[in-house]
Amino acid sequence: MENKYVDFISDEHFLYCIANLHKAYTKAKNNITKKNFYSNKVDTIKLTFDAKFNEIDEESLIQAEILRQIDKSINNSIGTFHEQILSGMKGFEVGNFSGFDIKATDDTLFADIKNKHNTMNSSSAEALFQKLSRYADDYKQAKCYWVQILAKNSFCELWKGDINGKEYSHSRVYKISGDQFYAMLSGNQKALFQLYKNLPIAINDYLHSVKKSEMAKENSALNEIKSETETSKRTILDQVTFENYSYYLGFDKL
Name the residue among 111, 116, 191, 193 with its Cα closest to residue 159.
Answer: 111
Mean pLDDT of the chain, nearest integer: 92
Domains of the chain: 1-77+220-246 (no CATH), 89-215 (3.40.1560)
**Distant-in-sequence, close-in-space partners of 213: CB < 8 Å, separation ≥ 6:** none
CA distances from 178 to 102, 171, 181, 193 (A): 13, 21, 5, 10
Model confidence at 118, pLDDT cuts 50, 70, 90, reads: confident
Model confidence at 216, pLDDT cuts 50, 70, 90, reads: low
Identify the pLDDT of residue 72. Answer: 82
Model confidence at 22, pLDDT cuts 50, 70, 90, reads: very high
238 pLDDT higher than 90: yes
Q: Which of 152-166, 173-187, 194-208 has the lowest mean pLDDT?
A: 152-166
3-state helix, strand, coil in the chain (%, to 5): 55, 15, 30
Model confidence at 203, pLDDT cuts 50, 70, 90, reads: very high
